[in-house]
């Protein structure tokens, strides 16, 4: 149509570093990872689900969570994907695998890296265990990855 501008697609790469306050619940979760290599969840007083990573509010029944619960650093791989294309934002070299993991003692899943395994040998249902960084920094990457057991 006359008078309309042509659509132009621009491809670029933007690195956007930022900081934020994690809040009380996430801060305690990250502190436990960093200082004690311990994975903590919060138990919902209404539906009794143990939520990991912990949330202040239960996503199922919307009750405020209160009780902290230590969960196992072992669990079951529910699903996974393998990333082959290197990207600037990835903290590990490709190929790398992400897994959805249900930790023993938790009623929700956590998403994290898988390691010490050939991507071709990863199978849903396999048992995995957290491997922690030697020196934690107070973030989710204090769990370096989950390995098969």
Domain ranges of the chain: 23-148
Q: Are 106 and 29 in contact (CB under 8 A)?
A: no
Amino acid 2: pLDDT: 67
Task: Tell me the whole-structure pTM to 2 decimals.
Answer: 0.85
Query: For residues 100, 104, 105 and 107, what is the CA-based torsion angle, rounded to 10 degrees?
Result: 30
CB atoms within 10 A of CB 64: 12
Residues contacting residue 76 through CB under 8 Å, at least 6 positions apart: 101, 102, 104, 125, 126, 127, 128
Q: Are 101 and 125 in contact (CB under 8 A)?
A: no
What are the 10-residue block averages of pLDDT along the chain, 149 residues in total? 72 76 92 97 97 96 96 98 89 92 98 96 98 95 97
Q: What are phi and psi of 32, to 5 degrees?
A: -65, -40
């Amino acid at each position: 149509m006359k008078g309309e501008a042509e659509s132009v697609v621009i491809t670029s790469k933007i690195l956007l570093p930022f900081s934020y306050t994690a809040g009380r619940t996430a801060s305690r979760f990250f502190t436990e990872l960093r200082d004690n290599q311990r994975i903590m969840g919060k138990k919902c007083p209404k539906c009794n689900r143990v939520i990991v990573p912990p949330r202040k509010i239960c996503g199922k029944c919307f009750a405020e969570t209160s009780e902290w619960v230590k969960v196992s650093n072992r669990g079951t791989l529910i699903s996974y994907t393998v990333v082959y294309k290197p990207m600037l934002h990835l903290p590990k070299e490709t190929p790398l695998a992400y897994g959805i993991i249900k930790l023993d003692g938790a009623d929700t899943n956590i998403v994290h890296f898988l390691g010490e395994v050939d991507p071709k040998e990863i199978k849903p249902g396999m048992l995995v265990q957290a491997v922690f960084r030697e020196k934690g920094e107070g973030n989710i990457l204090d769990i370096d990855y989950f390995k098969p057991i």
